[in-house]
Amino acid sequence: MRLSYFALVVLTWVFINACAGQSTNKSSYVKWTFNAGGGVHIPITKLKVGSLSDELIQYSNGGFYYQPLLSSIYWSEHWGIDIIGQFSLLQPQDRQSDRIHQYVLSNFQEDYFILNESESNRKKSSVEKILFGLCYRINKNRFQTNTKVYIGYSSFYIDWYSADLKEKDSNVYRKIDFTASERPIDAGTIAIGVSESYRFYKRFSVRADFMYAYFRSNFSISQTNKNLYTEEIIEEVHSYKRGIHSISLGLGISYDILIGK
Amino acid sequence: MKNVLRIICLLLLPIVIDSMTCCDCPDSERNQANFTYCGIELFNLDNSGRHAVIAASNSIPRAAYGMRIKVDRKKVERDDELCNRGCRSWFGTAAYATSCDCGWDTIYSPVVEIRKAKIITLNEFDTSHSAGDDITSYFHFFSGRTYNPVTDVFKKKLEETNYYDNEGLNKEIDFLLMTSPTSMTECSFQVVIELSDGRVLEAITNPVILQ
């Protein structure tokens, strides 16, 4: 996720919270909830489809996420808005540089020597989600049920790769590059979710979350093969348009701030 | 407290002065020497593998032929006042003074210029180039990223001035044949370098079959 998006959402959120704080004298229902937690992503459709893009997408289909930021504010007994920031962790076995190396070996080894390869550019985190939404809650004794609808961004990284090749039995050297049309890939996301929380001590609650999310990725990976002598470039563009559906299950702890009650 | 600080500053003053004055490096202009070109040697290169190697046989794939030019350069004069001067300590013994690290050793410059460099085929190379013709444009130097023409590389590689003393003055340059003959042929090439002092350096490769 580009930092500017994140900053914009956070600033908006701070502004809304500040406005809510000023109106506390008028309402006895205003309430903040802060939540931290984590969980697991379960893909319904997978990002990886068995093509070249698989070698460069820095994201495993499933995996764990952590959610350091979730804050809700309610302007009535039932209605409120909230913001979520989710970050997924790369799976340790996802070594893209090895896989792209294998891809290059299998496609070029017969006719070329592979002289140098670039380092992997991947980041430590992969998919990031920033969601902003409307929520409806129902309180019953110590239990609270929350239903939510979100919009926001999902973002993930595509690795870059380049290698220097030399043709066998020839003085011709080549350079191949794999680059994504954009980096990171940002995709508009919609999501719905429900959470159930139980207040176990004063303002502290445990909370279970379920969320379904959808985003449509639309990017391309360009594979260029340049003859360094003639400067002729052979380019292949691999288009990637795919709707990604996923669900996530998570657990967390909430802290409630009551204002004006 | 102020007096204590003053005493500490006074005690540290000689060390500061020492460290500022002990290095007496000569100017880089004084660390110069000259070299000239004394001769060249040629080797046939086989670049059919991962890296170019001096050909072990007299038969090389014609698309992978190259030649290595070894240029013998000799130093003709030198300012011996090099950087290894001891430090002059004002307040202590020189043995304890800070050592100097003056960076550059000696900068070498050529006393003669390369006026012209060319590669000549000694056999009929193709339909448009017979024995004795200049085929310099058929060879290129590969830097790792780009191919450069022979004439540019000769001047740039051989006349560049900044050499560390321990690098040695002899220079090797590999040129790759980028336009190969259309059919198998036996070839031999001559490199001619004309210098500004009137001398001409020449060498001929061993005959090789470009198959």
Give the model's confidence band at A71: pLDDT under 50 very low, under 70 low, under 90 confident, else very high.
confident
Closest residue in chain B to residue A113, using alpha carbons only: B50
- Which residue does chain A place closest to B149, by CA atoms? A229
Confidence tier at A261 by pLDDT (50, 70, 90):
very low
For the cut 90, the answer to whether the pLDDT of residue B51 exceeds it is: yes
Q: CB A169 to CB B48 under 8 A?
A: yes
Q: In whole angstroms, what is the distance from residue B66 CA to residue B142 CA?
A: 11
pTM here is 0.70
At A9 the pLDDT is: 60
pLDDT digits (tens, 9 = 90+) for A31-50: 788 888 999 888 888 766 66
Q: Which residue has the higher pLDDT, A24 or A212?
A: A212
Chain centroid offset of residue A183 CA: 13
pLDDT at B152: 85
Tokens of residue B13, six digits: 């003053």
Size of interface A-B (CB pairs under 8 A): 34
CA dist B76 and B85 (Å) reads: 24
Give chain A's mean pLDDT: 80
Judged against a pLDDT cut of 60, whether residue A92 lies above it is answered with no
Highest mean pLDDT among A84-98, A106-120, B6-20, B21-35: A106-120
Among the partner residues B63, B140, B142, nearest to A169 by beta-carbon distance = B63
Instruction: State whether residue A173 sits within 8 Å of chain B by CB.
Output: yes
B177 contacts chain A (CB < 8 A): yes
* Model pLDDT for residues B176-210, shown as the tens digit of each residue: 999 998 888 899 999 999 999 999 999 999 999 99
Q: Which residue of B has its CA nearest to A174?
A: B145
The 10s digit of each residue's pLDDT in A143-195 is: 999 999 999 988 877 777 889 999 999 999 999 998 888 777 888 999 999 99
In this complex, is the C-beta atom of A111 within 8 Å of any C-beta atom belonging to chain B?
A: no
Its ipTM equals 0.73
**pLDDT value of residue B36:** 87
